[in-house]
Structure 1
């Protein structure tokens, strides 16, 4: 069975007549007629009713239509996979990400991609979200991992949710899993000196009518965790930024949850290589990686 004949049959059904189908397929009307005649002769049935109204599927034509679509779709899927494979023998994917996502989210995804396409070079650079955005604008990288939302110059997809947690030094008395605002108000906090995280925490406190006592503002999240372990204050960090948690630091939930959404970002209206598009499939859990997406909730053993 000629798949091209099936494609022409589908086009005639879609457009309702031979002439419009020919125009959209960029072939002559006589070529359409010959293809339909050949297909009907091969199958031994009449697939289309012709008349002043145009062309409509017969009863058997309507039943064949379902299978014709499946065959044509299967052919397109095969061609897609072949073209994808041809385009992934080489090339590269350039990624930029803020540190905690680069450390905890990207390695398993890069490993999954590299196992499937070992000939593709994958590079990863770390920067703060503002630097990631600038690298995307300047064409230095193809994909960026950033907290969402971002400006409309980027297309973005959510890939994980990262809960903000309270880090506390050891205390003589065990703490409840979720703290009250009153309990939090007794602590002085070591804040992350990074605009987006700090603003999110301050805004959250204000939204719930609370005051936040700040003892320090520190640039490095690892320094913050170490200071908490030494009893210099409490901290509020996204879970990923808090890892690894040393002994002597307790992790508790906020009275009202606060979540950081982590997304993949690319510049809008840019044509990407098959390698870049496929790595986006890894991040989104789509295409050949459908059903293989990591859990979007980041809960990596912090209790």
Structure 2
């Protein structure tokens, strides 16, 4: 039986008039009358009594009406869910990312996301922490990898705690420590990421009361590693940044230990399905691969 027939029955019962039901459904009175007759024939009994005062439901019609309402509601839920699935599969998601995540995590996450959402379009915006905060606030990205604390007003999904580590040229004297005391870095030539890229590192140094002797500064994470490899100085970086790039350097934890927490920030309280789908994929990928 057609859902349209149930809709015609319920609208006529609600309004008590074929004419008003036809107007509400953008149809004609004769068409609605024909639909109701077909429905009664299919059931094999009368659903409505017609009189000059309008239309009243028969006892059978009264008994069937709640179930028809439920069927229509389920049909609407089904259509909404199907639309959400289509949108999630074919929508656009704009992702903000900083370099360590872009290199170490994002390719694997995108491979997994592509498997389940082959029609989705992904746009990647790479930047430093300040860039990402600005893009979240302006709506230029749908979600972004950030380090906590995230900008106010965001949905936040914590992903992983990442240690900050000291990187030293191979054979450096501070490599004798299992964990390098932060004050030992005070007199070393220090290679720094620009302020907008290293909020977490500056917090760790400030907490230890250390003002490093900055010899070089750069926005390029991997240029920094190359400079340490060349013996130009020492630095503090997130462990995720290093990955397998350990040739020519010594890597040691800090004492006291310092960390950053990587998270996903979503500016919209009601993100598009494709955005939520990527966030779920990212979380699941990390559970399997981190």
Contact 2:191-2:234 at 8 Å conserved across structures: yes
Q: Structure 1 CA distance, aligned partners of 2:207 and 2:142?
A: 36
Note closer, same or farther for the CA distance 1:207–1:125 as it changes in structure 2 (3 Å cut).
closer
Instruction: Provide the residue aligned with 2:279 in structure 1.
Output: 280
Give the secondary structure class of the aligned counterpart of 2:176. coil
1:58-69 superposed matches below 5 A:
none
1:230-241 superposed matches below 5 A:
230-241=230-241
Give the secondary structure class of the aligned counterpart of 1:122. strand
1:149-164 superposed matches below 5 A:
149-164=149-164
Give the secondary structure class of the aligned counterpart of 1:141. coil
Q: Structure 2 CA distance, aligned partners of 1:295 and 1:190?
A: 33
After the TM superposition, list the runs of 4 or more consecutive aligned residues in structure 1 that deviate by more than 4 angstroms.
Answer: 77-84, 295-298
TM-score (norm 2): 0.65
Instruction: Provide the residue aligned with 2:249 in structure 1.
Output: 249
Q: Structure 2 CA distance, aligned partners of 1:262 and 1:85?
A: 28
Contact 1:190-1:233 at 8 Å conserved across structures: yes
Kindly state the Cα deviation for residue 235 of structure 1 after the two structures are TM-superposed: 0.6
TM-score (norm 1): 0.63
1:1-303 superposed matches below 5 A:
34=63, 82=82, 84-171=84-171, 175-181=176-182, 183-185=184-186, 187-195=188-196, 197=198, 199-269=199-269, 271-283=270-282, 285=283, 292-295=284-287
Contact 1:165-1:252 at 8 Å conserved across structures: yes
Which one has the largest radius of gyration? 2
Note closer, same or farther for the CA distance 1:88–1:295 as it changes in structure 2 (3 Å cut).
closer
Contact 2:193-2:220 at 8 Å conserved across structures: yes
Q: Structure 2 CA distance, aligned partners of 1:265 and 1:172?
A: 39
Instruction: Provide the residue aligned with 1:47 in structure 2.
Output: none
Q: Structure 2 CA distance, aligned partners of 1:296 and 1:164?
A: 23
Give the secondary structure class of the aligned counterpart of 2:86. helix
| Residues 23-44 of structure 1: per-residue CA shift (max 9 Å, x gap) | xxxxxxx99x947x99xxxxxx
Give the secondary structure class of the aligned counterpart of 2:180. coil
Contact 1:190-1:235 at 8 Å conserved across structures: yes
Instruction: Provide the residue aligned with 1:46 in structure 2.
Output: none
Contact 2:166-2:237 at 8 Å conserved across structures: yes
Contact 2:128-2:196 at 8 Å conserved across structures: no
Q: Structure 1 CA distance, aligned partners of 2:193 and 2:288?
A: 23
| Residues 231-261 of structure 1: per-residue CA shift (max 9 Å, x gap) | 1111101123334524210100001111111
Note closer, same or farther for the CA distance 1:83–1:231 as it changes in structure 2 (3 Å cut).
same
Note closer, same or farther for the CA distance 1:252–1:146 as it changes in structure 2 (3 Å cut).
same
Q: Structure 2 CA distance, aligned partners of 1:94 and 1:103?
A: 17
Contact 2:136-2:143 at 8 Å conserved across structures: yes
Consecutive unaligned residues of structure 2, counting only runs of 5 or more, are: 1-58, 68-74
Q: Which is bigger in relative contact order (C-alpha 8 A, separation at least 6)?
A: 2
Q: Structure 2 CA distance, aligned partners of 1:202 and 1:133?
A: 18
